[in-house]
Amino acid sequence: MQSQLRSINLTELETLLKSWSFPTYRARQILNWLHQKHITEFGEMKNLPKKLLGKLSESSLVSVLKLRETPKSNDQSSQKYLFETQDGHFLESVLIVQGGRNTVCVSTQLGCKMKCSFCASGMGKFVRNLTAGEIIEQVSRVARTLSPLEVGNGRDRSLQAITNVVFMGMGEPLDNYDATLRAIKILMADWGFGLGGRRITVSTCGIIPKIEQFVKDVDGRVRLSISLHSSQQTVRNELVPINKRYNLDDLMSALEQLYRKLKREITFEYTLIQGMNNSPEAASGLARLANRIHAKVNIIPYNPVREADYQSPTPAQVKTFCALLEKKGVRVTVRQTAGRDINAACGQLRLDREPIRGTSGPKLICSIKFNLPPIP
Ligand code: SAH
């Protein structure tokens, strides 16, 4: 079985090279080709001895995703990447170009086990976790299309290409804990992508012990976004079923402990659903929770999913809800799902292509931060 070279960290690669009697400095060269120059074939590693390349290619794979489609939104601000895995499944990433930032939204699982009632990611079949290599290959492949590798002329424009990575595609990152953490360490390492923790956001539905472990493991450096969606137990039980196991009170106590250790502010994501969680009382409840930990709130107007019987709020309702939060001193941004015209709702394109039948092709949503113009 060949291993995925992108999943390997510096120490592991050095150990491997030593066992083959190659000098350890080759490890950084190899990782530089992978994570900064974003190569997809061994042949592109120009400064390595043929013998080493031979050993590497016998035992490992440099690329495991096949890029199938890359539709762009009409306004060119977002682009979707549909990849096929080696075992023939589809996953998606999204590139969002906005305000000088190039953000990649990555998937962490094929499907999702959390079954949030309004999210189509959990409606299809759960297939498997992605590997760390599959997670970061999404970033490299997107980066590569941004600035093609310029071998030989000494210029490397790819270094600054991707500025932010958000774990908000398909799947629950903390339900694929080891691969997510490994991917994040590679994104942050100087021998990896060299991204600062503030440029990485992990979004979770609230698996409390995993959140606590995660904050510890990344030393509080990575941004944390909590999918709250309601400040009421009963409503949250319906929307986010994991709430039955890790309820709001426990989640809030845990976050109160954590926010002191976190070097970044916490964000609450709040999918606004008409008649469900958009009343003035709901706004007060949300403001109360947000103010307890000085959290910022991202409102995501519900993006209709065929199988779920919920209503999107009108723009006026979104505005009213945000105004109520702001009145209570909460910082609010509104998110839009990226590029509806390219099915940027994460997973949508995947399900159209996935050879899973017996489903009417639910629409999966990846909500990407998309700051609308300020609410007047
Ligand atoms: N599993 C992670 C990532 C999910 S995707 C999590 O739960 O946080 C990122 C955000 O999009 C989550 O807040 C998710 O609840 C939200 N989302 C999912 N489906 C949506 C839909 N149909 N409309 C609006 N937001 C949705």
| Pocket flag, ligand 1, residue 168 (CB < 6 Å) | yes
204 lines ligand 1 (CB under 6 A): yes
pLDDT at 283: 98
pLDDT of residue 376: 30
* Dist. CA 350–CA 19, nearest whole Å: 41
Helix (H, G, I), strand (E, B) or coil at 353: helix
Q: Annotated catalytic, 307?
A: no
Pairing relation of β-strands 128-129 and 336-337? unpaired
Active site (annotated) includes residue 58:
no
Q: How far apart are CA 304 and CA 345, in angstroms?
A: 10
Q: Residue 328: name the closest of 273, 370, 282 by CA.
A: 282
Atom of ligand 1 nearest to the CA of 120: 19
Which pLDDT belongs to residue 71? 85
Residue with the nearest Cα to atom 24 of ligand 1? 302
Residue type, 13: L
Q: How far is the CA of 366 from the centre of ligand 1 (A)?
A: 6
The reply, when asked if residue 171 is annotated as ligand binding, is yes
Would you say 253 is a known binding-site residue? no
Per-residue pLDDT of the chain (376 residues; tens, 9 = 90+): 678 999 999 999 999 999 999 999 999 999 999 999 999 999 999 999 999 999 999 999 999 999 998 888 777 788 999 999 999 999 999 999 888 899 999 999 999 999 999 998 888 889 999 999 999 999 999 999 886 544 444 444 444 489 999 999 999 999 999 999 999 999 999 999 999 999 999 999 999 999 999 999 999 999 999 999 999 999 999 999 999 999 999 999 999 999 888 888 999 999 999 999 999 999 999 999 999 999 999 999 999 988 788 999 999 999 999 999 999 999 999 986 554 555 444 444 555 555 433 333 333 334 443 333 333 3
Mutate to test the pocket of ligand 1, among 108, 227, 311 (most ligand atoms within 8 A of CB): 227
Q: Beta strand 200-204 with 223-227: parallel, antiparallel or unpaired?
A: parallel
Q: What angle do CA 301, 268, 118 make, to 5 degrees?
A: 45
Task: Supply the pLDDT for residue 161.
Answer: 85
Q: Which of 105, 205, 322, 346 is catalytic?
A: 346
Centroid of ligand 1 to alpha carbon of 364 (angstroms): 9
205 is in an annotated binding site: no
Provide φ and ψ at 338, rounded to 5°.
Answer: -65, 135
- For residue 121, the model assigns a pLDDT of 87
User: Which domains does the chain show, CATH number per domain?
Assistant: 3-61 (1.10.150.530), 66-342 (3.20.20.70)
Contacts of 107 by beta carbon, 8 Å cutoff, 6+ apart: 91, 92, 93, 130, 135, 138, 169, 170, 171, 346, 347, 366
